[in-house]
Amino acid sequence: MAKLLIIGKTPPPIGGVSMHVQRLTRRLRQQRFDFDFCDYGKTSIFKIFFKIATHGTIHIHFSNPIVQAALAAFCRLTGKKLIITYHGQWGRYTALGNRAVKLSARLAHVPIVQEHASLLQALRCNPRSREISTYIADSEILPLAAPLQAILTSRRKFYRATFCTNAWNVTFDKGGREIYGILEMINCFAHYPEYQLLISDPSGNYRSYIQQRILHIPPNIFFINHLHDFKSVLLLSEAFIRNTTTDGVSLSVHEARELGIPVMASAAVQRPPFCSVFKDLSKTDLTAKLEEAKRRITLPYKAPDVVMELVELYREIRRGRALIN
């Protein structure tokens, strides 16, 4: 039996975490790396406990801070080595959740975070903490259904530019703000009838949420409310907007970069240099930001080889050590 167990969830639903787990496990299998995988969305709780009990190193990809802390305590007591990837910015939970995150980081063998500000906090809890991106490139692009492709292609003719954004579900931060900022974007685009906004909403929940809050959705707003490959939507757009109140390493931001699609992103976290960053979308000139984003997307940028970084970490642990930064 493999010594390494990875616990996570694969699509559906499609989201940054599930896509990372899917791509990570796929690449590890391609490299014939020895590991076991447990999809907690498709596995009974008893089987999950059995797998945890029979593996020495466990790498988890789920975001419940209480469960993270409980598992970290169990692993510490039983001599197992736990790797936790925190898919998001530290400090985004309530006070209790944030305390649980710090506790799990102290007890874990290696905490992995997504950006430098989180790393500074994690290092105070555990000197083995690492900053490793969750973006794993994937060249596969699944075509949109023919009727949807035809609609989107036709709509482009009526607008000077097409922007797109995505949200895996209606979600709120600890301050009660809508994390993906969709309502704010719709209100912004109401002042730019010459531009259209495509909203990728595979959960199908966002349109009804918006309809409960505004009387009329402008005609330059179009919801895609079923499962699809967002990269195909990016290819029909002049720019991608990431208007989040908190974030980790955004899969969509990097996918847009790989496809050469300009990126406009909120200043919720430190963004890559190819992004055109804004503080408040409602006070942002979309035309000027689009031009800036077009210039920035041409800046040289090389994404790290995340899978090889993780493989090296796994090997360090297998050899009985995890280097301290």
Q: Bridge-partner residues for 266, per DSSP?
A: 278
**CA separation for the pair 55, 66 (Å, rounded):** 21
- What percent of the chain stands above pLDDT 90? 88
- On whether the CB atoms of residues 60 and 82 are closer than 8 A, the answer is yes
Beta carbons within 10 angstroms of residue 306's beta carbon: 19
| Whether residue 56 has pLDDT greater than 50 | yes
Hey, what are 162's tokens? 């097409």
Does 132 score more than 90 pLDDT?
yes
Residue type, position 179, single letter: I
Strand partners for 241: 264
Flag whether pLDDT at 12 surpasses 90: no
Write the CA distances from 76 to 101, 322, 323, integer angstroms. 15, 15, 18
pLDDT band at 218; cut points 50, 70, 90: very high
- Confidence band (pLDDT; 50, 70, 90) for 186? very high
105 membership: H or E segment, kind and range: helix 95-107
Contact (CB, 8 A) for 249 and 270: no
Q: Are 184 and 264 in contact (CB under 8 A)?
A: no
Q: For 107-130, give the DSSP string.
A: HSSEEEESSHHHHHHHHHH-TT-E
Residue 325 pLDDT exceeds 50: no
The pLDDT, as a whole number, for residue 232 is 97
Locus of tokens 């710090």: 102
Triad 100, 103, 107: Cα angle to 5°: 140
- Kindly report, residue by residue over 267-294, the tens digit of the pLDDT: 999 999 999 999 999 999 999 999 999 9
Q: 């789920």: which residue's tokens?
A: 62
Instruction: Calculate mean pLDDT across residues 50-69.
Output: 96
Q: What percent of the chain shows pLDDT beyond 70?
A: 98
pTM of the predicted protein model: 0.89
